[in-house]
């Protein structure tokens, strides 16, 4: 198995193929010996690529699914239990649903997904959404009011609900209150907020799919970041997305929090109760951003 590479470049083709071939050869013993976090990422990715996509494709067209379609997922859930992982964990529940649905489709049954229909979006909900979207600002001045942990967790949860390439769900966080680590985040171009939300990635997750382009990995973190700044505003906080000024800054955090080598620090967002209401930096007119309509 190739080492975990935390840089931002594309993986060389030989390395992609090495990971691909190693993945094909994974035995039950390999899975049983694997770290639980990496195993869970592999379950998410494999079931996404070998079952989820096929199930929804067949369901939509009322097509019969091959009776072996769910075999790999079934093997992974068997290993899940053998590893002693809880069957209450989200992957186990979701994959069980996919397997059950695949088996119905393989038997030629019609599958009704109407109970999963999202809440209908009313005009009021739509307006609220766009108000939050457009009134979210980068706020760089904060009051001294303490942000409760529950609100921070709600905001971080929003980050986890962002779209994520191949559903590997690599996002991890470090939450740092400035008052507990004064000056640790010095070096940014702004003083920063009372709570620093560091968005990291568990790079072991990407071992599951060697073809994930690095750009997707960074987009995974970006999608989480965007959900986080929007959710912070929706939850009554304000914040600003910030930039690690250099590697030394990241190394300082890595050392302080004893982060293992497989954790990549990507970006961070500062949040708190806002003490300023900046004029919105106005945006392009959408018609001037469309390079073509074909």
Ligand X SMILES: Cc1cc2nc3c(=O)[nH]c(=O)nc-3n(C[C@H](O)[C@H](O)[C@H](O)COP(=O)(O)O)c2cc1C
Binding interface with ligand X (CB under 6 A):
137-138, 140, 189-190, 240-243, 267, 281
Q: At its nearest, how many Å lie between ligand X and the CB of residue 117?
A: 33
Nearer to ligand X, 79 or 193 (CB): 193
Q: How is residue 138 annotated by DSSP? A: B
- Maximum pairwise Cα distance, the chain: 63
Q: At its nearest, how many Å lie between ligand X and the CB of residue 21?
A: 36
Angle, helices 90-106/71-82, rounded to nearest 10 degrees: 150
Nearer to ligand X, 281 or 292 (CB): 281
Q: Which pair of tokens denotes residue 266?
A: 């990507």
Nearer to ligand X, 73 or 269 (CB): 269
CA–CA distances in Å: residue 217 to residues 167, 205, 243, 264, 274? 11, 10, 17, 10, 31
- Whole-number Å distance between alpha carbons of 111 and 155: 35
CA angle 275, 129, 293 (to 5 degrees): 115
- Whole-number Å distance between alpha carbons of 252 and 261: 13
Nearer to ligand X, 45 or 194 (CB): 194
Measured from the Cβ of residue 219, the count of other Cβ atoms closer than 10 Å reads: 15
Q: At its nearest, how many Å lie between ligand X and the CB of residue 139?
A: 8
Q: At its nearest, how many Å lie between ligand X and the CB of residue 289?
A: 15
Q: At its nearest, how many Å lie between ligand X and the CB of residue 221?
A: 10
Nearer to ligand X, 131 or 243 (CB): 243
Helix intervals (H) in the chain: 13-24, 28-33, 36-47, 53-61, 71-82, 90-106, 123-135, 149-160, 214-234, 247-256
Nearer to ligand X, 17 or 132 (CB): 132
Q: Which pair of tokens denotes residue 183?
A: 């000056």
| Residue 185 near residue 176, CB atoms below 8 Å | yes
Nearer to ligand X, 39 or 244 (CB): 244
C-alpha closest to that of 206 among 50, 38, 49: 38
Q: At its nearest, how many Å lie between ligand X and the CB of residue 192?
A: 9
Q: At its nearest, how many Å lie between ligand X and the CB of residue 277?
A: 11
Q: At its nearest, how many Å lie between ligand X and the CB of residue 225?
A: 7
CA angle 261, 23, 87 (to 5 degrees): 80
Nearer to ligand X, 26 or 190 (CB): 190
């Amino acid at each position: 198995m190739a080492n975990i590479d935390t840089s931002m470049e594309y993986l060389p083709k030989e390395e992609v193929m090495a990971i691909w071939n190693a993945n094909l050869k994974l035995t039950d013993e390999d899975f049983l010996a694997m770290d639980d976090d990496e195993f869970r990422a592999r379950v998410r990715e494999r079931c996404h690529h070998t079952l989820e996509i096929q199930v929804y494709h067949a369901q939509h067209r009322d097509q019969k699914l091959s009776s072996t379609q769910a075999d790999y997922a079934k093997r992974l859930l068997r290993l899940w239990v053998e590893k002693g992982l809880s069957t209450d964990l989200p992957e186990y529940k979701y994959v069980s649903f996919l397997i059950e649905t695949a088996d119905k489709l393989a038997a030629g049954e019609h599958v009704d997904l109407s109970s999963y229909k999202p809440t209908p979006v009313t005009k009021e909900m739509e307006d609220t959404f766009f108000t939050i979207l457009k009134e979210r600002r980068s706020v760089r001045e904060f009051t001294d009011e303490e942000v409760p942990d529950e609100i921070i967790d709600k905001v971080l949860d929003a980050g986890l609900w962002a779209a994520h390439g191949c559903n590997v769900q690599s996002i991890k966080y470090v939450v740092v209150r400035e008052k507990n680590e004064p000056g640790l985040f010095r070096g940014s171009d702004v003083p920063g907020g009372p709570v620093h939300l560091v968005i990291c990635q568990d790079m072991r997750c990407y071992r599951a799919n060697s073809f994930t382009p690095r750009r997707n990995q960074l987009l995974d973190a970006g999608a989480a970041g965007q959900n986080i700044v929007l959710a912070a505003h929706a939850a009554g906080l304000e914040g600003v997305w910030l930039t690690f000024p250099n590697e030394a800054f990241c190394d300082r955090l890595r050392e302080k929090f004893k982060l293992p080598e497989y954790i990549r620090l990507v970006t961070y967002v500062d949040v708190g109760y806002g003490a300023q209401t900046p004029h919105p930096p106005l945006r392009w007119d959408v018609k001037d951003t469309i390079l073509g309509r074909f």
